[in-house]
Amino acid sequence: MNATPNAATAIDTRLLGYYEALERASNDMLAAARAADWDQVVKLEGACVLLIAQLKHAASEQNLAAEEGKQKSRIMQRILVNDAEIRTLAEPWLEDLDQMMTGKSRTLH
């Protein structure tokens, strides 16, 4: 009977691993944004899309234990903080990109 709880724990740990991988990618995206390496940010964003798809699939088949749910919540909070800073750092870059795409010159008022 001990094999069943261990197997369940291994599955839950794997599910939590997706959240941890997303957090690492989020940290890497933030580092790239701080360095104004927008190509790397975009590349990492693509990796996150893949991780999120894998996470959704895994989450539909597995559940986290209570303690792992708390870890997931802490991870998600850190990802949201990173995302907010990335967005703040990206705003000027996105504005410049939009102006280049529309052909408008940047003027100060």
Question: Contact, 64 vs 15, CB < 8 A?
Answer: yes
Q: Domain residues of the chain, as ranges?
A: 3-102
* pLDDT at residue 103 in the model: 72
* pLDDT at residue 92 in the model: 80
Report d(CA 26, CA 41) in Å as an integer. Answer: 9
Nearest by Cα to 89 from 35, 44, 26:
35
pLDDT in single tens digits along all 109 residues of the chain:
444 444 444 444 589 999 999 999 999 999 999 999 999 999 999 999 999 999 999 999 888 989 999 999 999 999 999 999 999 999 887 777 667 777 765 555 4
* pLDDT at residue 106 in the model: 52
List b or e across 61-80, with b for residues whose CB sees 16 or more CB atoms inside 10 angstroms.
Answer: eeebeeebeeebeebeeebe
Q: What is 3-102's CATH number, 1.10.3720.10, 1.20.120.420, 3.20.20.70, 1.20.58.380?
A: 1.20.58.380
End-to-end CA distance of the chain: 73
* pLDDT at residue 100 in the model: 73
Q: What's the predicted TM-score (pTM) here?
A: 0.73
